């Protein structure tokens, strides 16, 4: 499949589709359960699914051969992922998915700012404008409540 699109874009688009489906499926699943318990169940599913994916695709390698720096940053990413999931599920339990998700996606602004400050990334003025429009749109959803 050579669509002319960069591979990173295809993966990012698939991620957006799965993320959208995740929010709706989670909202339905949260009807009869505490959001923290639901997050634990979700974590177990991911912990079972990913090893199966890695082994079946032949991508397994010894993680103990990775550098301490890699371990630290991947572990920190795991902690922030867990915190994000807990907060997201709590928000979904209490609010409409159509309101929670756009506010959650204000993370785009956080990513751009951290990318700028920590990684030295330099989005173009046009990109910054797009990020501000997305952020403004996310904030408008708060007014809808």
Distance CA 127, CA 121 (A): 12
Sequence ranges of the domains in the chain: 7-104
Distance CA 74, CA 37 (A): 24
DSSP secondary structure letters along 66-96: S-HHHHHHHHHHHHHHHHHHHHHHHHHHHS-
The tokens describing 97, both together, are 């998915």
Cα 6 to the center of its chain, rounded Å: 20
Region class of 120: left (phi > 0), else alpha (psi between -120 and 50), else beta: left
Give the per-residue SS3 of 19-57.
HHHHHHHHHHHHHHCCHHHHHHHHHHHHHHHHHHHHHHC
Task: Say what the pLDDT of residue 12 is.
Answer: 86
- Which residues in the chain land under pLDDT 70? 1-3, 144-145
């Amino acid at each position: 499949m050579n669509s002319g699109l960069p591979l990173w874009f295809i993966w990012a688009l698939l991620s957006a589709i799965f993320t959208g489906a995740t929010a709706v499926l989670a909202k339905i699943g949260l009807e009869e359960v505490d959001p923290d318990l639901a997050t634990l169940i979700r974590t177990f599913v991911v912990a079972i699914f990913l090893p199966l994916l890695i082994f079946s695709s032949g991508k397994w390698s010894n993680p103990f051969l990775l550098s301490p720096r890699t371990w630290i940053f991947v572990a920190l990413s795991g902690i922030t992922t867990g915190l994000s999931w807990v907060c997201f599920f709590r928000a979904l339990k209490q609010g409409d998915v159509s309101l929670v998700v756009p506010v959650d996606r204000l993370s785009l602004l956080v990513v751009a700012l951290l990318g700028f400050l920590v990684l030295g990334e330099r989005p173009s003025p046009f990109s910054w404008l797009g990020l501000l429009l997305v952020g403004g749109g996310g904030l408008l959803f708060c007014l809808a409540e």
